């Protein structure tokens, strides 16, 4: 009789469920303040290089972090993010470094090849998982907490200068509970990695948007035919028919005499152009007509910016 009473009590406590899982919302923190800037104009073209992994948790953390940032930047609707495979392929062909802190000359070269406005490099500098658990007569519980720190740099592809250096820390937790040994006892929860990295990255995504958009939007001239100029920006970047542009010929490089860092180029006015429509079927280019000349003749790789 006593045996039946105990068994009934156990069944009443346990019901039909052997395991329960609870995931807590990510908790995030960052040492840098969130900055805002009013976005205007077409979208920028940006590239994200594979992040370096400085932790002992395997190379996948670096790749995962860069993938998450690509997704978050695309979700803002303010960037055309160049596919990472394309970026890596070009860098390998040019025998350039493909991950970690890329030097300014490499960034400028990549900007010219792919028409990028900025490149983001970064590293997963810290990652750890803490596990706590309790055991009772008929129940067991396990709680895991993952913490990740991600550092990034946003580099201007025209000058190689760092536009933003930021760091984000993300924390996420999960809890598992078993009853009478039924269900999984809960090994390492691999989803915690992605959750902690995302929690760190979302904190500085808006800062990336803010810093890149502080510079005037620009595109490059890809071809010239009389008064017609062909641009490396189209509808995918928000370039519309009738948009007015001021175009400039890029002359001699201007470098800092102490550091050798590229500050910019001499700019000779070409004149005002007006977008006539798209170029081809990809949406990546457009055709503009030079409606007012300032004297200089447009050439391939010259720059055009939104007119005031």
pLDDT tens per residue across span 57-86: 776 888 899 999 999 999 998 999 987 777
| ∠ CA 160-38-72, rounded to 5° | 65
For the chain, give every domain's residue range: 18-212, 218-306
- Residue 214 backbone phi and psi in degrees, to 5: -70, -25
Taking the C-alpha atoms of residue 98 and residue 49, their distance in angstroms, rounded to an integer, is 7
β-pairing, 162-179 vs 139-156, is: antiparallel
The confidence score (pLDDT) of residue 249 equals 92
Is there a contact between 131 and 143 (Cβ–Cβ < 8 Å)?
A: yes
Task: Say which residues have a Cβ less than 8 Å from residue 308's Cβ, sequence separation at least 6.
Answer: 246
Q: Which helix (H) or strand (E) holds 266?
A: strand 262-279
| ∠ CA 182-184-187, rounded to 5° | 150
Taking the C-alpha atoms of residue 192 and residue 248, their distance in angstroms, rounded to an integer, is 49
Q: Is 64 helix (H, G, I), strand (E, B) or coil?
A: helix
Is there a contact between 92 and 50 (Cβ–Cβ < 8 Å)?
A: no
Write down the CATH number for the domain with range 218-306: 2.40.10
Q: Which helix (H) or strand (E) holds 70?
A: helix 60-75
The confidence score (pLDDT) of residue 144 equals 85
Is there a contact between 221 and 302 (Cβ–Cβ < 8 Å)?
A: yes
List the structure tokens of 133. Answer: 């658990």
Taking CB atoms within 8 Å and a gap of at least 24, the contacts of 133-136 are none
Whole-angstrom Cα Rg for the chain: 26
Is 3.40.50.10610 the CATH classification of the domain at 18-212? Answer: yes
DSSP 161-225: -EEEEEEEEEEEEEEEEEETTBS------THHHHHHHHHHHHHHHHHHHHHHTTSPPEEEEEEEE
β-pairing, 228-231 vs 285-293, is: antiparallel
pTM: 0.74
**pLDDT, averaged in runs of 10, over the chain (308 residues):** 43 37 39 53 88 84 91 92 80 63 72 85 89 57 85 88 90 67 51 88 91 89 94 92 94 85 86 94 92 90 90
Is there a contact between 253 and 238 (Cβ–Cβ < 8 Å)?
A: no
- Which of 97, 164, 168 has the alpha carbon at shortest distance from 126? 168
List the structure tokens of 261. Answer: 């860092």
| ∠ CA 162-165-167, rounded to 5° | 165
């Amino acid at each position: 009789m006593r045996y039946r009473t105990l068994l009934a009590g156990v069944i009443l406590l346990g019901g039909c469920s052997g395991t329960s899982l609870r995931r807590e919302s990510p908790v995030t923190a960052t040492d840098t303040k969130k900055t805002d800037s009013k976005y205007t104009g077409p979208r920028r073209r940006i590239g994200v290089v594979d992040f370096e992994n400085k932790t002992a948790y395997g190379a996948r953390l670096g790749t995962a972090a860069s993938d998450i940032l690509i997704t978050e930047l695309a979700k803002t609707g303010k960037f055309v993010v160049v596919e990472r495979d394309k970026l890596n392929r070009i860098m390998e062909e040019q025998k350039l470094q493909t991950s970690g802190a890329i030097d300014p000359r490499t960034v400028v070269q990549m900007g010219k090849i792919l028409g990028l406005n900025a490149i983001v490099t970064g590293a997963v500098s810290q990652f750890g998982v803490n596990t706590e658990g309790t055991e009772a007569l008929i129940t067991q519980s396990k709680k895991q907490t993952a913490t990740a720190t991600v550092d990034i740099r946003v580099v201007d592809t025209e000058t190689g200068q760092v536009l933003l250096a930021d760091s984000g820390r993300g924390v996420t937790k999960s809890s598992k509970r078993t009853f009478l040994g039924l269900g999984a006892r809960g090994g390492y929860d691999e989803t915690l990695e992605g959750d902690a990295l995302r929690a760190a990255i979302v904190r500085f995504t808006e800062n990336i948007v803010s810093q890149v958009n502080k510079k005037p939007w620009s595109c490059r001239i890809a071809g010239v035919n009389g008064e017609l100029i062909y641009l490396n920006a189209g509808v995918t970047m928000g370039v519309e028919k009738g948009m007015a542009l001021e175009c400039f010929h890029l002359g001699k490089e201007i470098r800092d005499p102490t550091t050798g860092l590229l500050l910019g180029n001499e700019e000779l006015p070409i004149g005002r152009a007006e977008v006539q429509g798209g170029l081809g079927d990809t949406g990546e280019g457009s055709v503009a007509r030079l409606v007012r000349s300032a004297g200089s003749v447009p050439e391939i790789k010259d720059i055009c910016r939104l007119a005031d």
